Amino acid sequence: MSDGETGHSNRVALLVFLILIAGSVVAGDSVLETDKQVLLELKSFLEEQNLINRGNYSEWNPQDSTPCAWPGISCDVNGTRVTRIDLSDNDIAGDIFGNFSGLTALTYLDLSKNTLGGAIPGDLGQCQNLKFLNLSHNIIDGELNLTGFNSLEVLDLSLNRIGGEIQSTLPEICNSLVVANLSTNNFTGVIGNSFDHCRNLQYLDLSSNNLSGDLWFGFGRLKEFSVSENKLDGNVSAGIFTSNCSLQSLDLSGNSFFGEFPKEISNCKQLVELNLWGNNFTGPIPKDIGSILSLQELLLGSNKFSSKIPESLLGLSNLTILDLSNNNFGGDIQEIFGQFTQVKFLLLHSNSYTGGLHSSGILKLPNIYRLDLSYNQFSGPLPAEISQMVSLKFLVLAHNQFAGIYLQIMEICMDSKPLISPTTS
Ligand SMILES: *[C@@H]1O[C@H](CO)[C@@H](O)[C@H](O)[C@H]1NC(C)=O
Ligand SMILES: *[C@@H]1O[C@H](CO)[C@@H](O)[C@H](O)[C@H]1NC(C)=O
Ligand SMILES: *[C@@H]1O[C@H](CO)[C@@H](O)[C@H](O)[C@H]1NC(C)=O
Ligand SMILES: *[C@@H]1O[C@H](CO)[C@@H](O)[C@H](O)[C@H]1NC(C)=O
Ligand SMILES: *[C@@H]1O[C@H](CO)[C@@H](O)[C@H](O)[C@H]1NC(C)=O
Ligand SMILES: *[C@@H]1O[C@H](CO)[C@@H](O)[C@H](O)[C@H]1NC(C)=O
Ligand SMILES: *[C@@H]1O[C@H](CO)[C@@H](O)[C@H](O)[C@H]1NC(C)=O
Ligand SMILES: *[C@@H]1O[C@H](CO)[C@@H](O)[C@H](O)[C@H]1NC(C)=O
Ligand SMILES: *[C@@H]1O[C@H](CO)[C@@H](O)[C@H](O)[C@H]1NC(C)=O
Ligand SMILES: *[C@@H]1O[C@H](CO)[C@@H](O)[C@H](O)[C@H]1NC(C)=O
Ligand SMILES: *[C@@H]1O[C@H](CO)[C@@H](O)[C@H](O)[C@H]1NC(C)=O
Ligand SMILES: *[C@@H]1O[C@H](CO)[C@@H](O)[C@H](O)[C@H]1NC(C)=O
């Protein structure tokens, strides 16, 4: 490119630049100036509450002509409005600022990983355009009142101390909601029909709360659903799993569900993780689970399933984790376990097995990485095959009655082989 051409394009660029500046003075600067003033209020609010440790907001300089380059702040493409605030992990303690709604173009607010306390201020609900709100990992308490959050698509309130019932305010804010994480709070009462009208919801995590009563029936159309570690009970109805079930991950662990688990779960053709651990399920493990070819994790431990393991499960070629611990299985280890050649984690602890280590063939499983046989009633010498298990890294044998070796260690880490040799007896 010649000097003349360069000079010409520079002049064009300058002209375009001047037009842009003029345009923004006419169109946007006054609202941007208001946004900047609200951010400066936010800065003084944060500095008053945080006298020692200060986050990036302390670098917000009132002399700057625009706040769009301040750390943690983003503007729209034209640089005319503040649209995003990310003050995650910024050592912020105290209450939540009471005038975020002064930023009328705000779409994204991330205040996660701080020590914010108090209740969620009603002012946040006045942010008409807010699509993303992350207040995860704080000490927020009070009850949930999401009145006004009509545009919300992603809501993460996990790891706080929010209490009360979920159902009081959810329905009205549900239209756009795609992700709702309310995990690890202090919610009580029933789930009820709170989420019936959340037509776009895909990810719902209600785990580690204090919810009681029945399961919500509508979760089959989500991708991920967890109610792990609550106080829910009742049957799991077959009608939940309709032919259009889109679940990829279902976690019902740590509740008090009982009865037979419905075979209709096989309608969920995309299921990768099924966690029923720690309930009171009885009866057979549905053989239809064997048709869910995407399944990788099947956790059925701490229930009362009957001891016949369906052969259909052997065809699940992606199955990596199989947990059938603590299901009152006794006698010899079921022979079928020796055929799960694909499995890496096999958990059979806390049953009442007395034998079958050799006959089942589990000590010859080619891909086994972690094998947990603790809390059973095995006796006799420690089997020699253990030292030849090629892929084994963790072997848990504690709380049995193996002879000749006094197992004080809970877990044997097979770093270099042969680490334990049966000849030590
Ligand atoms: C950016 O400016 C253009 C032209 O003025 C306008 O059409 C567009 O809506 C603006 N975009 C935003 C996000 O404000
Ligand atoms: C502060 O901003 C810098 C650059 O934007 C970033 O790398 C850093 O992680 C931020 N610190 C905090 C505590 O957010
Ligand atoms: C919130 O910000 C707006 C815009 O600057 C301002 O008009 C209003 O007075 C502020 N409200 C409070 C309670 O500070
Ligand atoms: C919320 O923030 C936490 C911590 O910064 C992060 O781990 C989590 O992924 C965020 N949630 C969403 C939905 O982005
Ligand atoms: C929730 O907040 C809105 C507005 O802030 C208020 O009008 C309503 O009474 C509150 N609802 C409850 C149940 O406290
Ligand atoms: C919800 O939040 C918790 C804690 O922050 C996290 O472990 C979990 O993966 C999140 N759930 C979803 C569905 O993202
Ligand atoms: C949880 O809520 C109960 C009342 O429902 C209350 O007694 C308890 O202190 C709360 N726990 C926390 C950690 O806030
Ligand atoms: C669950 O709620 C009951 C009262 O409803 C309360 O006594 C208990 O402490 C709560 N448990 C947890 C873990 O918050
Ligand atoms: C799924 O199927 C059920 C009946 O089988 C139907 O009532 C429901 O509307 C369907 N849901 C979706 C999202 O298609
Ligand atoms: C299972 O049922 C038994 C007897 O009905 C009860 O004692 C136990 O607490 C229940 N366990 C769970 C996890 O609900
Ligand atoms: C549902 O629970 C009842 C006990 O309340 C039990 O008798 C029944 O067999 C269960 N139904 C199914 C399908 O498991
Ligand atoms: C099994 O896993 C592989 C690798 O993650 C994946 O490509 C394949 O689609 C999975 N098979 C099924 C049936 O989901």
Question: Which of 8-17, 49-58, 387-396, 410-419 has the highest average model confidence (pLDDT)?
Answer: 49-58
The answer to whether residue 197 scores a pLDDT higher than 60 is yes
Q: How many Cβ atoms are within 10 Å of 370's Cβ, its own excluded?
A: 17
Q: Stretch 178-188: mean pLDDT, rounded?
A: 96
The answer to whether residue 173 scores a pLDDT higher than 50 is yes
Q: Is the CB of 62 inside a 6 Å radius of any atom of ligand 5? A: no
Helix boundaries (H) for 316-405: none
Among all bound ligands, the one having the nearest atom to the CA of 107 is 1
- The pLDDT-based confidence of 32 (bands split at 50, 70, 90) is very high
The CA 394 to ligand 12 mean position distance, Å, reads: 25
H or E element, residue 379: strand 379-381
Q: How many Cβ atoms are within 10 Å of 326's Cβ, its own excluded?
A: 20
Q: Which is more confident, 387 or 257? A: 257
Look at residue 115 in the predicted model and tell me its pLDDT.
96
- Which pTM value belongs to this model? 0.88
Look at residue 419 in the predicted model and tell me its pLDDT.
38
Q: What is the CA radius of gyration of the chain?
A: 29
H or E element, residue 82: strand 82-86
The answer to whether residue 408 scores a pLDDT higher than 90 is no
Q: How many Cβ atoms are within 10 Å of 177's Cβ, its own excluded?
A: 26
Q: Is the CB of 38 inside a 6 Å radius of any atom of ligand 3? A: yes
Look at residue 214 in the predicted model and tell me its pLDDT.
95
Lowest mean pLDDT among 15-29, 175-189, 328-342: 15-29
Contact of 102 with 129, CB cutoff 8 Å: no
H or E element, residue 186: strand 186-189
Look at residue 397 in the predicted model and tell me its pLDDT.
87
Using CA atoms of 19, 25, 29, 33 in order, give the dihedral in degrees to the nearest 10: 120
Q: pLDDT (tens digit, 9 = 90+) per residue, 207-255?
A: 999 999 999 999 999 999 999 999 999 999 999 999 999 999 999 999 9
Residue with the two structure tokens 């929010």? 162
Q: Which residues contact 223 (CB under 8 A, 6 or more apart)?
A: 202, 203, 246, 247, 248, 249
149 CB-contact burial (10 Å; exposed 0-12 / middle 13-18 / buried 19+) = buried
198: DSSP letter: -
Contact of 71 with 86, CB cutoff 8 Å: no
Among all bound ligands, the one having the nearest atom to the CA of 304 is 10
Half-sphere exposure of 319 (CA within 13 A, CB side): 23
Q: Tell me the best of 31, 38, 95 to mutate to test the pocket of ligand 3, counting ligand atoms within 8 Å of each CB and taking the most.
A: 38
CA 44 to chain centre: 35
Q: How many Cβ atoms are within 10 Å of 16's Cβ, its own excluded?
A: 10
Which domains are seen in the chain, by residue range?
Answer: 1-140+160-170 (3.80.10.10)
Q: pLDDT (tens digit, 9 = 90+) per residue, 72-100?
A: 999 999 999 999 999 999 999 999 999 99
Q: Is the CB of 205 inside a 6 Å radius of any atom of ligand 6? A: yes
The answer to whether residue 167 scores a pLDDT higher than 60 is yes
Q: Which atom of ligand 3 is nearest to the CA of 34?
A: 5
- The pLDDT-based confidence of 10 (bands split at 50, 70, 90) is low
Look at residue 147 in the predicted model and tell me its pLDDT.
83
Look at residue 28 in the predicted model and tell me its pLDDT.
47
